[in-house]
Amino acid sequence: MKKGDCIFCKIAGGEIPSKTLYEDESFRVILDLGPATKGHALILPKEHAKDIYELPQETASEVFVLAKKMAVRMVEKLHCDGLNVVQNNGEAAGQTVPHFHIHLIPRYQNDGQIINWTPGKPSQEELEAVRVLISE
Ligand code: AMP
Ligand code: ZN
């Protein structure tokens, strides 16, 4: 996708209006239009990168600092009981908008949302094979 066609580029740049919670020269934080819970927010870098693999190193190092600041503020203001930080890369992982973003999802007791996976039961040998694959 070209940058000019990217909806999150347009939102991050202010070309399309959004419910903005925070903005600086590198990022805009907005409310998700299809929130999982009250206060579900998205951190959008202003510079287009499709996913975490394309994200410039400097943006990567700044974005989690901002996620932490926003999380602290959101818990304080929303009085939520927990908060999920979610970041999807690729269709197989549930990414629907190909512009890197971090979800901040406030959680409330019994909010009915499920962010979950079924735990596997790998053998020690299988774990070791994966460890070797990734680390060496
Ligand atoms: P993902 O599935 O990780 O790519 O997340 C995309 C998110 O963007 C979803 O939670 C959508 O509800 C949200 N979304 C899509 N379009 C907009 C928009 N125009 N403004 C705000 N949130 C949006
Ligand atoms: Zn973009």
pLDDT tens digits, 60-109 = 999 999 999 999 999 999 999 999 999 999 999 999 999 999 999 999 99
Ligand 1 site, residue 33, Cβ cutoff 6 A: yes
In the annotation, is 101 catalytic? Answer: yes
Ligand 1 site, residue 51, Cβ cutoff 6 A: no
Ligand 1 site, residue 17, Cβ cutoff 6 A: no
| Nearest ligand to the CA atom of 35 | 1
C-alpha span between 126 and 131 (Å, rounded): 9
**What are the distances in angstroms from CA 90 to CA 39, 53, 94, 109?**
24, 10, 7, 30
> pLDDT tens digits for 10-60?
999 999 999 999 999 999 999 999 999 999 999 999 999 999 999 999 999
Alpha carbon of 118 to ligand 1 centroid (Å): 25
C-alpha span between 30 and 41 (Å, rounded): 5
Q: Do residues 29 and 19 make contact, with C-beta atoms less than 8 angstroms apart?
A: no
C-alpha span between 90 and 78 (Å, rounded): 31
- Reported as a pLDDT band with limits 50, 70 and 90, residue 1 is low
Residue 72 DSSP label: H
Ligand 1 site, residue 115, Cβ cutoff 6 A: no
Query: Which residue out of 29, 38, 97 has the highest number of ligand 1 atoms within 8 Å of its CB and is therefore the one to mutate?
Result: 97
Which member of 40, 48, 101, 103 is catalytic?
A: 101
Is 110 a residue whose pLDDT tops 70? yes
Is 2 a residue whose pLDDT tops 60? no
Position 4 scores a pLDDT of 75
